[in-house]
């Protein structure tokens, strides 16, 4: 199933990330509302220009990790002190040093699975997801700067078009995504 976001956007394609960054800077100075930027690789220095806040994914990772720590350590503690206490090699029931390796492993496991699942969920990506692609060349060598047309009138659309042209976009297209 092709997933659509019911948006109509106008976008310009740039040949280089430097040109795109210049265009984004210009758009900011003209107070134009950028819809999104699509690129074949992450562009450093772009996020602050687009006003993107730092991702909080790592905070999620920390919480998932903590959950793993507690699951492992709490689980082993409960099993060996309450559920079925057993003595191994004359050690105490609650032999904390022996619990460290599994506690560490489950911390890492929970943090990774949790973060990866969260990442795909919040990005709306995953097996079977099929988003509309703005332009197929943005995964190759083109950098796209897109503006949401929304309910803009023709004059506004024309001014966006001329902005894209002036800022060095090689091609300009309108597309429903």
Partner 1 sequence: MSVVVSPIREPLIGGNKTYHQITEDICAPTETTPPKSWVIAFIASVITLAYGLFCIGWLIYFGTGTWNLNRTIGWGWDITNFVWWIGIGHAGTLISAILLLFRQKWRTGVNRAAEAMTIFAVICAAIFPVIHVGRIWVVFYFFPLPNTRGPLWVNFNSPLLWDIFAISTYFTVSLLFWYTGLVPDFATIRDRASGFRKKLYQFLSFGWTGSAKHWQRWESLSLVLAGISAPLVLSVHTIVSFDFATSIIPGWHTTIFPPYFVAGAIFSGFAMVQTLMLVTRHVLKLHDYITVSHIESMNKVILFTGTMVGVAYLTELFIAWYSGYVYEQFAFLNRATGIYWWSYFGMMTCNVLSPQLFWIKKFRTSIFWTFIMSIFVNIGMWFERFVIIATTLARDYIPSSWSYYTPSWVEIGIYVGTFGLFFTLYLGFSRVAPVVAIAEIKSILKSSGNQYVNHHKDAHHHNINEQHALDHLTAEHEGEHHH
- Give least dist CB 134 to partner 1, A: 7
Find all residues with CB under 8 Å of 19, minimum gap 6, and list them: 143, 167, 168
Residues in 87-146 at the binding interface with partner 1, rule: CB under 8 A: 88-89, 91, 95, 98-99, 101-102, 104-106, 108-109, 111-113, 115-116, 119-120, 122-131, 133-134, 136-141
User: Can you list the alpha helix ranges (DSSP code H) found in 124-141?
Assistant: none
Element (H, E) at 35: strand 34-38
CA-based nearest residue to 26, from 177, 163, 118, 165:
163
- Give least dist CB 125 to partner 1, A: 4
Judged by beta carbon, residue 133 or residue 174, the one nearer partner 1 is: 133
Judged by beta carbon, residue 38 or residue 163, the one nearer partner 1 is: 38
Q: Positive or negative CA dihedral for 155, 31, 150, 45?
A: positive
Q: Angle, nearest 10°, between helix axes 17-29 and 154-166?
A: 140
Give the Cα-Cα-Cα angle 15, 19, 22 (nearest 5 degrees). Answer: 160
In degrees rounded to 5, what are phi and psi of residue 26? -65, -40
Judged by beta carbon, residue 100 or residue 174, the one nearer partner 1 is: 100
Reading the block at residue 39, the tokens are 């690129």
Judged by beta carbon, residue 45 or residue 153, the one nearer partner 1 is: 45
- Give least dist CB 135 to partner 1, A: 9
Binding site for partner 1 (CB under 8 A): 3, 17-18, 21, 36-47, 50, 52, 54-55, 57-58, 61, 65, 75-76, 79-80, 83-84, 86, 88-89, 91, 95, 98-99, 101-102, 104-106, 108-109, 111-113, 115-116, 119-120, 122-131, 133-134, 136-141
């Amino acid at each position: 199933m092709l997933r659509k976001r019911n948006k109509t956007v106008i976008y310009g394609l740039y040949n280089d990330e430097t040109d795109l960054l210049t265009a984004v800077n210009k758009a900011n100075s003209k107070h134009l509302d950028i819809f999104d930027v699509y690129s074949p690789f992450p562009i450093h220095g772009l996020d602050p220009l687009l006003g993107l806040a730092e991702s909080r994914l790592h905070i999620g990772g920390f919480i998932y990790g903590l959950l793993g720590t507690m699951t492992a350590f709490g689980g082993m503690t409960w099993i060996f002190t309450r559920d079925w206490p057993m003595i191994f090699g004359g050690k105490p029931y609650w032999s904390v040093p022996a619990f460290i390796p599994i506690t560490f492993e489950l911390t890492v496991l929970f943090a990774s699975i949790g973060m990866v699942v969260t990442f795909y969920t919040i990005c709306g990506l995953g097996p079977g997801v099929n988003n509309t692609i703005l332009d197929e060349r943005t995964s190759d060598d083109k950098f796209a700067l897109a503006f949401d047309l929304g309910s803009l009138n023709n004059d506004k659309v024309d001014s966006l078009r001329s902005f894209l042209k002036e800022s060095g976009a090689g091609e300009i297209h309108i597309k429903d995504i």
